[in-house]
Amino acid sequence: MASLTLVSQSQSFLIRPHCTNSNPKPTVFVSSFLPLHFRSYKIDRIPQSNGVVVVSANTAEKARKRYPGEAKGFVEEMRFVAMKLHTREQAKEGQKQVKEPEERPLTKWKPSVDGYLRFLVDSKLVYDTLEGIIQEAPIPIWSMVKKEKDFLFLVHCRSFLKKLLCFSSTPATWENGDAEFRNTGLERSEKLAKDLECFKEQGYTIPEPSSCGITYAQYLKELSEKDPQAFICHFYNVYFAHSAGGRMIGKKVAEKILDNKELEFYKWDGELSQLLQNVRDKLNKVAESWTREQKNHCLDETEKSFKHSGEILRLIIS
pLDDT tens-digit readout, 114-154: 999 999 999 999 999 999 999 987 544 333 333 444 444 44
Closest by Cα among 277, 269, 287, 282 to 240: 277
pLDDT tens-digit readout, 264-279: 999 999 999 999 999 9
User: What residues contact 18, with CB distance under 8 A and at least 6 apart?
Assistant: none
Q: How far is it, in rounded angstroms, from Cα 205 to Cα 115? A: 12
The contacts found for 280-285 with CB under 8 angstroms, 24 or more apart, are: 280/73, 280/75, 282/177, 282/180, 282/181, 282/184, 283/74, 283/75, 283/78, 283/232, 283/236, 284/73, 284/74, 284/75, 285/177, 285/180
Per-residue pLDDT, 170: 41
Closest by Cα among 267, 257, 262 to 204: 257
Residue 47: strand, helix, or coil? strand
Per-residue pLDDT, 63: 59
Share of the chain above pLDDT 70, in %: 66
Confidence of residue 101 (pLDDT cuts 50, 70, 90): confident
Confidence of residue 113 (pLDDT cuts 50, 70, 90): very high
Q: How far is it, in rounded angstroms, from Cα 142 to Cα 154? A: 8
Q: How far is it, in rounded angstroms, from Cα 234 to Cα 256? A: 29
Residue 5: phi and psi, rounded to 5, are: -100, 125
Q: How far is it, in rounded angstroms, from Cα 308 to Cα 216? A: 6
- Angstrom distances, CA of residue 147 to CA of 11, 62, 138, 150: 48, 34, 20, 5
To which H or E segment does residue 220 belong? helix 211-226
| Rounded average pLDDT over 83-92 | 80
Residue 45: phi and psi, rounded to 5, are: -105, 120
Q: How many CB atoms lie within 10 A of CB 186?
A: 22
What stretches of 21-136 adopt beta strand conformation (E)?
A: 27-31, 40-47, 53-57
Per-residue pLDDT, 161: 37
Per-residue pLDDT, 98: 80
CA atoms within 13 Å, Cβ hemisphere of 187? 16
Per-residue pLDDT, 107: 81
Residue 57: phi and psi, rounded to 5, are: -105, 150
CB 158 within 8 A of CB 197: no
Core vs surface per residue 15-31: b (16+ CB within 10 A) or e: beeeeeeeeeeebebee
Per-residue pLDDT, 102: 79
